[in-house]
Structure 1
Amino acid sequence: MQRNHPRGPGATTRPRTSRLAALAAATAVTASTLTVTTATPAAADVSTQCSFPSKAYKGRPWSLQRVLLNELWRDTDQGEGVRVAVIDTGVSTEHKQLKDAVDTKSGKNLLPKKRKKDESGRVQPRGKANGTTDSVGHGTKVAGIIAARPADDTGFVGLAPKATIIPIQQNDANGSGTADTLAAAIDHAVRVRADVINISQDTAQALSPKSSLERAVNRALRANVVVVASAGNDGLGGNVKETYPASYPGVLAVASSDRNNERAPFSQSGEFVDVAAPGVDMISTVPKGGHCADNGTSFSAPYVAGVAALLRAKHNDGANKWTQKNIVAQIEQTAERSVSGHDRLVGWGVIDPVRALTEDEHRINRPTAKEGMEKGRKPTPAKLQLGETEQERNERLGTYVLVGGGTLLAVVIGSSLVYRDWRRRRQTGDSGA
């Protein structure tokens, strides 16, 4: 399948009309290679938003306006101490909001030595060995959504702004990454003690059972790592297909939602989708400074990874430490649902970060569709009574007593008055004789 890759410094260039027409953008691939599942930036300001460096975004992005950040961070230390591996196109440390967020000692560049050439026939530089070179900007955007530090000149901030990013460069503008290099990146993340792994990529085609990628994912899950992956951007026209590694059991597969909490048109559908998160007009950091808007499940996944980092920071104590299954189930259970259970468009619903961090009194291993719904009780049928009921009889007798008593009282009073008048007349007659 031929796909278009977003334009950026070092990436292949295409006419602007081609960029605006494509929603899911990546390079041409073979069955074994990976595609970076990005989307083109929003149509507005498309010619300026993704230049490196770019202007700072002054306001608070809509995806953060839907969250009460003070409440979100109340008991989480803003993700401090949690390590999130970003397996992507590298993470630039030139941006001031990421400079202190990246663990440069644990980062790694896993790009193959023999890489594809761009349309001009050139091979882009491989970059630094620690994964902090990002000529595409994709990985830097992903990292910013997770852990960008606050800054005075912007309202943008990461959901877990004290978490640590582990940059693992495994892909580039030419789609040089393979399933094997992705598997190697996952294994490296486990070795350097990642708590959460974000993978905003998918394979072009389904992989064979027990592939190197699936085995690496299973090793990460057994190491109690939360693995978050984007669902993919080939959902236009209702297209349904499984993508990898998102489709592997245990991986938290993330689709994209829009401002109305509905599935974004490009977002991949399927029974493997676990939750959805904002993925339209997503503001984030770009290399060399400033911010850029972009669309795609690539930017929904780190939104969820940031919440996973906060949950890991909050529930990381001794015997009460939550497992990766607990964290995944909590995110799924507290998502905002349009139906009582799971559907193929947005999974268990659109992630609700505050609810995930506040309705967490008990840890769970799996979401339940019936949670929060009361089972209706059968109505008690009325007893069929032939004739007068006991209550009706008592009421009738009471009425008789009341009426009878009133009548008797009236007779007595009336008789008294007659007797009194008779005596007065008699007394009057006796005195006049």
Structure 2
Amino acid sequence: MKNSFSGPVRSAVVLTLAALVAGVSGTAMAQTRASQERVIVEFKPGKLKAARAAIQAAGGRVVLDLSEDNAVAAVLPAGKRLALRRNAAVASIDDDPIRTVMGSRKATVRRAGASAAVMSTEVVPFGIPMVQADQVAYGSTRKVCVIDSGYDLSHEDLQKTGVTGQNFTTEGDWSTDENQHGTHVTGTIAALGGNGVGVVGVVPGGNLNLYVAKVFDSTGSAASSTIMKGVRACKRAGANVVNMSLGGGRPTNFEAKTYQRFYDSGMLIIAAAGNAGTSALSYPASYPSVVSVAAIDVNKAKADFSQFNAEVEIAGPGVATLSTVPTGSNREATLSVGGASFAAAPMDGSPVGSASAALYNFGTGEVDDAGVAGKVCLIARGNISFADKVLRCQANGGVAAVIYNNTAGQLFGTMNGVVTTIPSMGVSDVDGAALLGQVGAVASAAVAVSAYNYAEFNGTSMATPHVAGVAALVWSNFPACGPARIREALNATAQDLGAAGRDVEFGFGLVQAKAAADWLATNGCAAP
């Protein structure tokens, strides 16, 4: 990882010190930051130097070079945009909005022994046959660019060769992933098949060329200009398909023009429709040059979070999608007591560990109890935080903590960053009542929180790589086709869902690899 005093961290330290020296209050600092805006300044051909000088004269500073597209990203004092726009070197000034990842980890609930297959055998996620990826063989070389949070090159189920990239953040490298999102997305596209472990991707042979543009750090957000810098790198790398499991509101003219140029130059850009569950438009997905992807579940129903609007073009599986995450970054819990297994979810922040000991009723975990020593604490939710309950169990000599819900349903809890040394997990109110009946039994409680290299995620982010992978798979068999023809084939052969024809929830329907390949075999690459 790079020096912790580089990039934005260092800037924050310098700003804070400067403010202290000047006697500026925290409120004044906030007002200073609020009085600035990040913009994209498009300059006229050959006028980069003059545009930079104009930005400086306006009290601003350039923060990112986009000169290949005749632009720079800059921070300007509020109120300076209009005056700068009048400069003869400046063609336009646009906002530089924030874009975020469009997927999140689904809290997993397992019964004892239920997750062993994830690590010891190879699993085919439900989305792979659903999009007919298992019915089409990969043909000639295609390159897919994944613009996301990186790629865990050390992962057991991801290819090591044919992968290059570039890091546009201050964390790690393109081959690391501090957020999990990028590794999960790429696994859906290209997780290795036939190696006996993990999962299978849409293109599982290990021979897909991949380019990784790391634009997101652990926060999962980045400016539009940084993302477009990544797309430009994809273009230089020769990418045919670009996966963008990301988005946000506020379209910009510069963004629309830039993505159109990339599309016209031969790249098929595929992006997430958004996770707000509303009819709001998300960008870049909603630009005409970009394919907008909605999410469906295992039953081919629209995911409740998937945005719906006239720009939605096609759909892919995006609910409880099992794929790769950085090695050891996921947690799963198992619990068995008296020979019976119980559904359990690891506390967010629980350490990896296991224990086998008698189950002990520790009430709500608020009062010290010498009887806890050497036992598994069974604790009721309520009154104090989960972390405080686990810490008191730990301080009293407990070897693990199981917290049961005091309302209906499974308990998903978090340590909120508090460091503990014993494994902890949550169970439902119903299982909690059953476990209270096991307290004092001779049979012991077997508790384990384990590290896993795979996780289930929800999001249009997860649907998008299914479509991008299918596009690459189909295109690999018809390399003479252009991106518009591949797009036409995918739309013409999608499995119609919902209202007949194209609709706002599913677009043309569920992407189908075999049907699209057959359509191109019949109709060819040339448009009629």
TM-score, normalised relative to structure 2: 0.54
Give 1:352 deviation, angstroms: 1.7
Shift of 1:189: 0.5
**Aligned residues: CA RMSD:** 2.8
> What are the equivalent positions in structure 2 for 1:23-422 lying under 5 Å apart?
32-45=97-110, 55=119, 58-66=122-130, 71-73=135-137, 76-77=138-139, 80-104=140-164, 107-111=165-169, 126-128=171-173, 131-154=174-197, 156-161=199-204, 162-203=207-248, 205-208=249-252, 210-211=253-254, 213-235=255-277, 239-288=278-327, 290-316=453-479, 321-338=480-497, 339-360=499-520, 361-363=522-524
- Quick one: structure 1 residues 348 and 49, their matched pair in 2 at CA, closer, same or farther if it must change by over 3 Å? farther
Asked whether the 8 Å contact 1:329–1:366 carries over to 2, the reply is no
Q: CA offset at residue 351 of structure 1?
A: 1.3
Kindly indicate whether the alpha-carbon contact (under 8 Å) linking 1:147 and 1:164 is maintained by their aligned counterparts in 2: no
Cα deviations by residue, 1:208-241 (Å, 9 ceiling, x for unpaired): 3x22x32331221121111010111111xxx111
How far did residue 255 of structure 1 move? 0.5
Q: Is the 8 A contact 1:331 1:351 kept in 2?
A: yes
- Counterpart code for 1:359: W
- Decide whether aligned partners of structure 1 residues 100 and 346 sit closer, same or farther in structure 2, where only a CA change above 3 A counts: same
Alpha carbons 2:132, 2:512 under 8 Å: kept: no
Residue 397 of structure 2 corresponds to which residue in structure 1?
A: none
Counterpart-to-counterpart distance in 2, 1:346 and 1:259:
14
Distance in 2 between residues matched to 1:277 and 1:68, nearest whole Å: 11
Is the CA contact (8 Å cut-off) linking 1:35 and 1:175 kept in structure 2?
Answer: yes
Name the counterpart of 1:429.
none
- What letter matches 1:327 in structure 2? I
Partner AA of 2:508 in structure 1: W
Measured in 2, the distance between the counterparts of 1:230 and 1:285 equals: 19
Gapped regions of structure 1 (runs ≥ 5): 1-28, 114-125, 368-433
Asked if structure 2 preserves the Cα contact closer than 8 Å seen for 1:103 and 1:164, the reply is yes
Q: 1:42 to 1:57 in 2, by over 3 A?
A: farther
Give per-residue Cα distances to partners, 1:278-303, cap 9 Å, x unaligned.
00111111112632111111011000
CA–CA distance in structure 2, aligned partners of residues 281 and 329 of structure 1: 29
Offset of 1:363 from its aligned partner? 4.1
- Structure 1 pair 264–138 and aligned structure 2 pair: CA distance change class (3 A): same
Inter-CA distance 359–155: structure 2 relative to 1 (3 Å threshold): farther
- The residue identity in structure 2 corresponding to 1:85 is C
Per the TM alignment, residue 151 of structure 1 is displaced from its structure 2 partner at its CA by 4.0
In structure 2, relative to structure 1, the CA distance for the partners of 1:143 and 1:350 (3 Å cut) is same
Larger radius of gyration: 1
- Deviation by residue 1:6-40 (Cα, 9 ceiling, x = unmatched): xxxxxxxxxxxxxxxxxxxxxxx997211111133
Structure with greater strand percent: 2
Amino acid at match of 1:362: N
CA-CA distance at 1:45 after TM superposition? 4.4
List per-residue Cα deviations over 1:314-349 (Å, max 9, x = no partner): 111xxxx11100011111111111344210000001
Matched residue of 1:275: which SS? strand
Q: Does the 8 Å contact 1:33/1:175 carry over to 2?
A: no
Deviations 1:34-93 (A, max 9, x none): 1111133155349x999xxx84664322112435555311xx33xx51110000001110
Shift of 1:309: 0.5
User: Which amino acid is the alignment partner of residue 294 of structure 2?
Assistant: A
Conserved? CA contact 1:37–1:296, under 8 Å: yes
Q: How many residues align?
A: 304
Check whether the contact 2:312–2:504 (CA below 8 A) recurs between aligned residues.
yes
Kept in 2: contact 1:42–1:295 (CA 8 A)? no
* AA partner of residue 265 (structure 2): A
Tell me how far apart the structure 1 counterparts of residues 286 and 454 of structure 2 sit (CA, whole Å): 31
Give the SS at the match of 2:242.
strand
Over 3 Å counting, the alpha-carbon distance change for 1:56 and 1:82 in structure 2 is farther
Change (3 A) 1:224 1:186: same
Distance 2:516 2:273 in 1: 21
Query: Does the 8 A contact of 2:122 with 2:197 survive in 1?
Result: yes
Structure 1: how far apart are the matches of 2:121 and 2:129? 14
In the TM superposition, what is the alpha-carbon distance from 1:99 to its structure 2 partner?
3.3
The residue correspondences of 1:11-30 to structure 2 (distance < 5 A) are none
